[in-house]
Structure formats: structure tokens, C-alpha cells
Amino acid sequence: MRQRAVVIGAGIVGSAAARSLAKAGLDVVVVDRSAPASGTTAHGEGNLLVSDKAPGPELVMALAAAAAWPGLVRELEDELGEEFPPLEFEAKGGLVVATTEQGAGPLLAFASRQRAAGVDAREITVEDALRLEPDLNPAITAAVHYPQDSQVQPVAVSEALLASARRHGATVMATTGIVGPILGGSGELVGVRTDRGELRADAVVVAAGPWSGEVARTLGVSVPVRPRRGMVLVTSRMPRRIFHKVYDADYVGAVGSDDASLQTSSVVEATESGNVLIGSSRQQLGFDDRLRVDTISAIATKALRLFPFLSEQPVIRTYGGFRPYMPDHLPLVGPDHRLAGLWHATGHEGAGIGLAPVTGDLLAAMITGTEPLFDPAPYAPSRPSLAPYLEAVA
Amino acid sequence: MGARAVPAGEDPIRPDAAGTVTIRVDGLEVSGIDGQSIAGVLMASDRLELRRTARGDRPRGVFCGIGVCFDCIVEVNGVHDVRACQRRAHDGDTVITTGDGARRSGAVS
Amino acid sequence: MRQVVIVGAGPAGLAAARAARGAGADVVLLDSSDALGGQFWRHLPESRPSQHEKRLHHGWDRFRELRDSLEADPRVRIVRGGQVWAIETFAGVAVHVVVGESDGALRDREVFAPDALVLATGAHDRTLPFPGWDLPGVFTGGAAQALAKGERIAVGQRVIVAGAGPFLLPVAQSLASTGSTVLAVLEANSAGSIIRGWSRRPWELIPASGKGMELVGYAAGQLRHRIPYRTGRAVVAAHGTDRVESVTVAALNADWSPIPGSEQRVEVDAVCVSHGFTPRLELAVAAGCDLSGEGFVVVDDDQLTSTPGVYAAGEITGIGGVDLAIAEGEIAGRHAGGALGGAASARRRRRVFTGFAKRIEAAHGIKPGWTGWLTEPTIVCRCEEVTCGAIRQAARTTRSESLRSLKLTTRAGLGICQGRMCGRTVEDLLGAASTEGSLQDDASPHRRPIAFPLRLGELADPTRQLEHETSKGTQ
């Protein structure tokens, strides 16, 4: 009989996992308590970045992802046809700039370490930076160009991955909540009880993003994934005057930070539709989704430091997403060492859109016992850096 | 035929005479009555089209008239995305009606 | 001293301001316009007064008296050109405002933290899409009225008024007052459904005779101007190159689906369309107020919403017209101002006029067959030019039944109007086509945390910037 997998969560990570597993020949059921692609996936910018990652396991994943994305997009477009909404993949490249004298050294040192780890990180002069971005504030002190950074429309890609999974035989159950585990004779997980009935499975994958902790608890284990909120501003449309993803170098510091209070750094980019997206803040406030004016004010202030010409541009929308944050800053991908049959695919924080496809492939390789593209050990729930937090939560 | 200001002699509510304002719209001078909106000044002379859309190059004018739909956005004194139905015309205002945000310099094909 | 902030200076807001003062509170009255009165009492600017403006309005003396008393009251601060763009809900509410010329680039920011807040934000026309509805010369009913009452502009000379609801009558009357020829008023609902809707319990209407007189007045106006009123008909398409030149009028079935073969071309130079009203709910949603299943703010007997200290009055609690709005405003203002109980007369009037809202919905509500006049190229989202075909195609190819997902994949509702024009239409189109008859997510078409666009430079705060840079140095 075919192996069966239940994937909990139909965001981009769950959809990618479902597609990888279905393509590997498994019988896949995707369950979501709401609708596909409407949680964290629908509240981010669609970043596929290497620029913000320090050398280490996350960068290994990001480099594999950067290499895989162009082929994946072509594959999905061929498979789903012209009528499918556009995926808006754009290999626009990133431009990271320092805005202070003190900031220049750390940025260049960071880029040099990334280069050693295989990132295409090009130190360029301020003049060259202004040639790439003519409207950039000329008061910048250092610049690094990252041609591998790119962007997609995250919801369209997520729906495409799910549609492709369906074409490979997966089924999707929306508005279905998880009620509890079904355990086998030796305490192993053999399925889940949902509010629409029981689902038996050889592998249960929790891909519920920042809600993964809640789902795992329902199944009997703890996972220290926490919501970290990020706010993005959207302007009205304008003629294209911003051509790359442009960040100030503070971004690099904020991603890896443990500080729960507000942090912002500018990430400014134009989209194909003509809107400019401005991010982003990082704040740990639980699942509180109320608007905080001081947060979006701080984002606007920093964005204007990069692109002063945006001052008269109307802001028409803001959205905040909850990113799945891990205390040791690494994604959680692999088998749960405490409950056989349970697998995790979460914890990518702000990088989940970019890392989703390789996460799906890695997981499918482990579940089917084939050779993974890279070593899965650093992302395993049993990794040493996570041990103190597992105990703390349990 | 079309939109027009109610001629003073025909208006049943007979408003008092008011001063005039003169604004420059796409390089041409247009006069209206003090207190009118920019949209009102233009519609008084039966000009309905206030912009062309970014994607379909379709004409747009005042639709909701109360500031909700943003169809009537124009550029006023160098500032874009101004609702012509909400902004009162001031003497000497320079108005450009050529396009909405993404169209201003032909950015969207 | 207790401070009450009131958002919206239409009938409900003005009544609330006066009642809050009557209860002894200080009042801040905010309106995005530079004139008081809201859309209902939209009037000529001060630079162009008229002694006879009363002829264009219902309740004009009431307005004059409210306005004059509030303007003369030193404990009422009237903030004209005050656009509320956000409401925060930490330890009470904070109301964030930009003050200045409409869509200006350098408006001042102000923040109010009142003891009580009254939301009286009103409603705007809900207009269903039809082919050609984006052509210049197609207006909402509200536009025709605003231009007629506020500027003495006639939107056209040969005009059809179409849609649903009693509001079509004053629109036609306003047009007639500007010298336009109104060819017809077309009500989509059948005569039978209107009569059934209005007179289910006719005796309940007797105490509401003021309201009845308002409508009778409009009907008399129609007769005087010889405007034909036809039921069971709709404008189902507008035609023209750069402006509307003609419309197609069709007879409708009871569910509003067009009857094939009934189409007639009529030459017009303007068409005014309104299918009802959409309450302006984004501030209520931002303040955390619960909404009813019908999509209005839920209030208790004192007009208090589910958020402590936040009251709601007027059309956002149910479309009921000016008399109900005034009664609700009086009750809301009085309680927001700190009074306990009382307002017996306003409560009595509220009871009488509440029945009207239900009757309007019963007699003139939108029926689902309207989608029958859509074509694949019909634009649904005006801002982003998203067609009906594109929305249906995205729903079909992704098999998504999530409003949020489909908005993001099609861009419907993502434009500068923030989904105000198409939000409910997209929701209805997708909901009707979904497998279980409703959408799977809880995305609200009224959620706009930035309630109104403001410029990035206005949002960026220079004091905050300094503070931020200082704190950065110590990290």
C-alpha cells in the first residue's frame, strides 16, 4: 500500500511539502483550519534572500533555494498554464547599504564572510550603488550588491505549489481543525483526529508556521516556535524608480536578534504593479495584531532615510504577519525524536517563502529514505541548540 | 450637452455672486467659481475625463463624488494622488490630469 | 474635564456633539471636509451663500441651528479637514488625525485620547459593477447629489437614475433642481416586492410620518418634474468611447437577472447609479467594535459598541436615514458625555425609525441575479482594473475559496481606494461561487488599519527619528 502523509497547514511550507511528498509517490492529505495561503504566507513580502543570512546552516538552505527557484518557477508555470495567476518571480537582486560611518565596517566584514561561504556578494562603490539606484540617498557610506536575491508573489506561488500537489494526487481539506493524535500500540503517531473525522497516516507533518506550537501541543509534544510580528507598508502606485531590494544594513542585525522589543530596518522595493513595499519591523507581542502607530512611523522614518523622494507618496495599506520564530534562529525540519511518525517543517521566521521549496524536498527525501540535497542534521528537532528550549517548554 | 454649472439666471436657489478662481489644467487656463472643487471647475465646462488608467488606458472621471473611490485623482502643484472632487480650487493651482500614479511617466506598459 | 471626540459631522455626529455638550463634556468634532453637515447636508461654500438653499434640503433649519450652536460654543473644538487615519486600542483609544487641506502633503498630525469616542462615519453608495460603469459620465447617486448641492453642477442634461432604494428619489430631485432632464428613475426591484417590503406592518409606519413626509415630498417632486418611476428595470451596460453616450436598460426578473430580449438602448449623457449603501466601518473595525451578521456595528441601548468608551451612531449601525441618525446621535452623545439614562424622546424616535431600515432592506435589497449582467471583461476592481473574468479565472485555476488569497492573486481590492468600491462585490461574487456558499477565511472587507491614505513623510515622525537614532547608539 502507498505511504500516506497528512500535512497540517496549507501555507507555502505545507503546500511545498505536500507537492514534494506527492511527487515522491505518497498519498497526501493537506489540512488547514482556515483557507490555504491565508496566514503568514499572505502577510509577507515574498523575499527570496541570501543577503541577510550569515554563514551557517540557514545559508546552506538559502543557497540551495536560490539555485532551485528559477527552475521551479518555470516548472510550475509549464504545469499550470497561462490562466494561472502570475507568480511574479523577479531576480531583481538586493542592494544592502550602510547609512552611517560606523555601519560601513560591519557590513563589509559580513559580506566578506558570506563570500567565503559561496554568496555572490559584491562590494561596490557609492557611485556604483547610485548607478544601480539613482534615487538612493547619496549619503550612504558603503554598499554591497547581491545578485542572487529575488522575489515572488508569495500567495500565487503558494497556491501554485498546492495546485501542483493536487495534480500529483494530493487532496486538500480546508476549514478543518486538528483535535488530537491517533496513537499506535507502541505510542507512535499513526494519524490525527480532526473536527471532520479521523485521518490515518504514516507521516504527520506539522507545517503550521507560528501556530505550529499549538498544533504540536494538540498532538502531545512541545515545540518552542513563537510568533514574531513584522509590519509592511504599501504605497500607492508610482512610476518605477526603485529597481532592487534595497536595505539598510541594520536588517542583518535584526534578523538574528533575541530582543523582543521593536526593531526596524528599511527594506524598500518596488513591485511589478507599481506599488512600493516598505518593511519591516520585528516585534514579539504574541498574536496581538493591533495596529501600532509608533511601529509604522519608525518604518516610514527609516525608509525616507534611504529614499527621500518617497516623502510625498501615499501609504495606502499596512499589513502585519506573524513569522515563526525559533529561539536558536534555525528552521525546524525533520522527524520528532520524541514521537515517532511526527515530522516538523516550520520555524523559518521571515525566510519561509524563499526556503519553502527546499524544505519540502528535504522533508520528502527524509520521509521516503532517499538522499537529501544537503545534510538535514542542523535543522533536526533533536539538535543540541534546541534542547534547552524543548525542556523549558515541556 | 453634458455636465455644466447651473446658469445663475436659471438657478431656483439663486446663490449670491461669488468671485472667480483661475487654475491651469494641463497647461490651459480654466476659470471657475470661488469655493468649487477642482473637479467642479472642470465639470462646469463639461470636461469629464480626469485621467487615463495605467493598465487599460481607459478614461476616468468623477465617480463617487464624495472622496471614496479615488477615480478622480490628479496632480496638484506637483503633488500627485489628490482627489479632484475633494480639493477646493485655489487661484493659480497647477493641475495635471494625464494619468494615475503608475502612468505618470509611462512606467507601466 | 471629560472629553468626547466625535468622528463625522453629518446628522448623527452633529446631534452627538450637541448632546455630549448637554451632558457637560468638552467636545472635539472631527470631519475630513472643511464644512459641516456631512453628505446629507452637503451645501454651498461660505464664499457663495444662498438665501434659498433650504429648498435643496430636508431638515435644513435643523442643520443651521445645530451648526450655529456648535460653532458658537467655546467648549466645542471643530477640526475641519481632520482626516482620521488610524485608531489604536491600547489603554483606551487613541485617534490619529492628519489636519489640513484634503490630500495635502504636509498636514499636521494630531492624536486624541478622549474619555469617549463617538463614531458617526456614515455610509457611501454601493454601486454594483456593469459593463462600462467605469466610463466618465457614470456617477454614483451620491456624486450627482454632492455636485448639485455643493457646487450647483449638473452632471448631465439627459440623465437616467438607476439602482435600488428610496435614495434614488432625492437624487432625481437634486438633478431636476440643476435643470437636468431625468429620463427615468429605474428601480431594480419589482413593484410587488417593494410594496410587500414596505407595508408588511403598515401600522408601524404611522408614528414615522416625518419620514413618510420626506419620501412623499420626494415623490411629489418627481411628479412635479414629470419623472417616470419604473420598477423591475436596471441599467445593465453603459456605452461610449471617452464618456458615456448611451446605456442599455433591461427588464429584470425578481432575482434581478436580466430578461433576455428586453434590452433597450437609450441615449444619455450621464447615468447615476446606486444600489444601496455601504457603511463606512474601517474606524469601527480598527476600534475593535463587533459587527453584526448583516455587517453593521453592534450597539446596546445607549449606542455603546462592544469596545468600552466607543459609541456608534447613524448609518454605521444600520441604514436608516437622517431622523434615525439624529436620534442615535443624541443618545450616543449623551452617554459619551457622561450622562446616565434619559434621552427618552430620542429613544422613542429611534424605535420608530429603526423599522424603516428593515423595510428599506426588505423592499429594496440587492438580489443575487445581478451577476447576470456581468461579462468577462467587465471591470470589478476599478483601481487595479481587475475584470470579472480574471477573478473567476483565478478562483477556478487556484480552486481557492479564500478572500484574502484571491485578492492577493488578482489584486482586486488592493488599489488606492483600499477596496471600498469593490470589496463587498468581490466577496459576494466569490462567496456565491464557492462550494459551501461562503468563503473559508475571516478576511474582512472593512479591515483597513491605515483607514485613509497619508503621505509617507506625514507618517514618518521627526521626533521619533531622533529618539530612534539615540537609542541605536546605545545598543
Cα(A380)–Cα(B72) distance, integer angstroms: 56
- Per-residue confidence band for A284, with pLDDT thresholds at 50, 70 and 90: confident
Q: Is C400 on the interface with A (CB under 8 A)?
A: yes
Question: Which of A324, A342, A367 marks a domain boundary?
Answer: A324
Same domain, A63 and A105: no
Cell of A221: 509534544
Cα separations (Å) of A359 from A11, A48, B56, B95, B107?
13, 13, 40, 53, 37
| Residue % of chain A over a pLDDT of 90 | 85
Q: Is A237 on the interface with B (CB under 8 A)?
A: yes
Rounded mean pLDDT, C322-331:
95
Give the start-end residues of each E strand in C318-385: 379-381
The residue among A287, A315, A318 with the most chain C CBs within 10 A of its CB, best to mutate, is: A315
Cell of A143: 554598499
pLDDT of A321 strictly over 80: yes
Is there a domain that residue A275 lies in?
A: yes
Q: Where are the domains of chain C?
A: 3-124+278-361, 127-275, 375-433
Q: Is B47 on the interface with A (CB under 8 A)?
A: no
Contacts of B75 in chain C (CB under 8 A): none
Chain C residue closest in CA terms to A165: C398
- Least confident range from B39-53, C220-234, C359-373: namely C220-234
pLDDT for A264 equals 61
Q: Residue ranges of the alpha helices (H) in C23-180?
A: 60-72, 141-151, 168-177
Is there a domain that residue A308 lies in?
A: yes
- Least confident range from B37-51, C68-82, C199-213: namely C199-213
> Does residue A191 sit in helix, strand or coil?
strand
Is there a domain that residue B4 lies in?
A: no
- Per-residue confidence band for C434, with pLDDT thresholds at 50, 70 and 90: confident
- Structural domains of chain A, count: 2
Contact C453 B81 (CB under 8 A): yes
| HSE of A384, CA atoms in CB hemisphere, 13 A | 0
Cα(A210)–Cα(A231) distance, integer angstroms: 15
Same domain, A314 and A232: yes
pLDDT for C441 equals 78
| Span between the terminal Cα atoms of chain B, in Å | 34
Chain B residue closest in CA terms to C42: B66
Rounded mean pLDDT, A63-81:
97
Residue pair A146/A119 in contact (Cβ under 8 Å)? The answer is yes
Size of interface B-C (CB pairs under 8 A): 182
Q: Residue ranges of the alpha helices (H) in A1-146?
A: 12-23, 57-80, 101-116, 126-132
Cα(A203)–Cα(A28) distance, integer angstroms: 10
Rounded mean pLDDT, C263-282:
97
Cα(C172)–Cα(C144) distance, integer angstroms: 9
- Per-residue confidence band for C359, with pLDDT thresholds at 50, 70 and 90: confident
Is there a domain that residue A360 lies in?
A: yes
> Grid cell 521516503 — which residue?
A368
Same domain, A231 and A318: yes
The residue among B70, B98, B108, B109 with the most chain A CBs within 10 A of its CB, best to mutate, is: B108
Cα separations (Å) of A301 from A167, A279, C259, C265, C372?
46, 11, 57, 55, 48
- Chain B: give the shortest CA distance to residue C417, in Å: 5
pLDDT for A260 equals 58
Cell of C76: 466645542
pLDDT for C139 equals 98
Residue pair A354/A62 in contact (Cβ under 8 Å)? The answer is yes
Is there a domain that residue A86 lies in?
A: no
Cell of C133: 460603469
Q: C238 phi and psi, to 5 degrees? A: -120, 145
Cα separations (Å) of A260 from A208, A254, A283, A298, C302?
22, 10, 6, 16, 41
Say if domain C3-124+278-361 classifies as CATH 3.50.50.60: yes
Residue C80 DSSP one-character state? E
Give the start-end residues of each E strand in chain A: 4-8, 27-31, 47-48, 94-98, 122-124, 142-146, 150-151, 171-173, 178-183, 189-194, 197-200, 203-206, 226-235, 245-248, 263-270, 276-282, 314-325, 332-335, 342-346
List the single residue in B59, B87, B100 with the smallest CB-CB distance to C102.
Answer: B87
pLDDT of A89 strictly over 80: yes
pLDDT of A253 strictly over 70: no
Same domain, A260 and A318: yes
Rounded mean pLDDT, A287-291:
88
Is there a domain that residue B82 lies in?
A: yes
Q: What is the CATH number of the domain that holds A373?
A: 3.50.50.60
pLDDT of C188 strictly over 50: yes
pLDDT of C75 strictly over 60: yes
Give the range of the structural domain holding residue B87, as residue numbers without chain letter. 18-103
Is there a domain that residue A88 lies in?
A: no
Cα separations (Å) of A357 from A12, A36, A146, A273, C277?
8, 16, 21, 25, 45
Is there a domain that residue A74 lies in?
A: no
Residue pair A12/A47 in contact (Cβ under 8 Å)? The answer is no
pLDDT for B8 equals 86
Cα(C222)–Cα(A387) distance, integer angstroms: 79
pLDDT of C212 strictly over 70: no
- Least confident range from A18-22, A262-266, C460-464: namely C460-464
Q: What is the CATH number of the domain that holds B46?
A: 3.10.20.440
- Structural domains of chain B, count: 1
pLDDT of A83 strictly over 60: yes
- Chain A: give the shortest CA distance to residue C410, in Å: 7
Cα(C359)–Cα(C170) distance, integer angstroms: 18
Same domain, A232 and A319: yes
Is there a domain that residue A79 lies in?
A: no
Average pLDDT, chain A: 93
Average pLDDT, chain C: 90
Cα(C121)–Cα(C99) distance, integer angstroms: 17
Q: A52 phi and psi, to 5 degrees? A: -95, 10
Helix and strand totals (H; E) in chain C = 14, 22
Contact A163 C450 (CB under 8 A): no
Instruction: Specify the CATH superfamily of domain C127-275.
Output: FAD/NAD(P)-binding domain (3.50.50.60)
Question: Which of A273, A293, A324 marks a domain boundary?
Answer: A324
List the single residue in A166, A264, A304 with the smallest CB-CB distance to C457.
Answer: A304
* Cα C73 from chain centroid (whole Å): 29
Q: Which amino acid is at A204?
A: V
Rounded mean pLDDT, A311-317:
96
Size of interface A-C (CB pairs under 8 A): 160
Q: A266 phi and psi, to 5 degrees? A: -75, 135
> Does residue B6 sit in helix, strand or coil?
coil
Contacts of C440 in chain A (CB under 8 A): 34-35, 38, 174-175
- Least confident range from B74-88, C206-220, C237-251: namely C206-220
Cell of C115: 474619555
List the single residue in C52, C136, C417 with the smallest CB-CB distance to B69.
Answer: C417
pLDDT of B105 strictly over 50: no
pLDDT for C189 equals 94
- Least confident range from A300-304, A355-359, C435-439: namely C435-439
Same domain, A237 and A374: no
- Chain A: give the shortest CA distance to residue B86, in Å: 16
Q: Which chains touch B (3 or more CB pairs under 8 A)?
A: A, C
Cα(C146)–Cα(C39) distance, integer angstroms: 7
> Does residue A184 sit in helix, strand or coil?
coil
Question: Which of A302, A324, A346 marks a domain boundary?
Answer: A324
pLDDT for C216 equals 56
The residue among B50, B69, B71, B90 with the most chain C CBs within 10 A of its CB, best to mutate, is: B69
Same domain, A134 and A257: yes
Cα(C13)–Cα(C36) distance, integer angstroms: 10
The residue among A135, A161, A262, A297 with the most chain C CBs within 10 A of its CB, best to mutate, is: A297
pLDDT tens-digit map of A131-176: 999 999 999 999 999 999 999 999 999 999 999 999 999 999 999 9
Contact C139 B10 (CB under 8 A): no
Same domain, A142 and A258: yes
pLDDT for C357 equals 72
Q: What is the CATH number of the domain that holds A262?
A: 3.30.9.10
pLDDT for C474 equals 31
Which has the closest alpha carbon to C97: C116, C84, C107? Answer: C84
> Does residue C8 sit in helix, strand or coil?
coil
pLDDT of C254 strictly over 60: yes
Q: C159 phi and psi, to 5 degrees? A: -125, 140
Residue pair C411/A5 in contact (Cβ under 8 Å)? The answer is no
pLDDT for A31 equals 98
pLDDT for C218 equals 64
Is there a domain that residue A272 lies in?
A: yes
Give the range of the structural domain holding residue A384, as residue numbers without chain letter. 4-67+154-225+328-393
- Is the bond preceding A15 in cis, omega lying within 30 degrees of 0? no
List the single residue in A42, A233, A236 with the smallest CB-CB distance to C404.
Answer: A42
Residue pair B66/C41 in contact (Cβ under 8 Å)? The answer is no
pLDDT tens-digit map of C123-181: 999 999 999 999 999 999 999 999 999 999 999 999 999 999 989 999 999 999 999 99
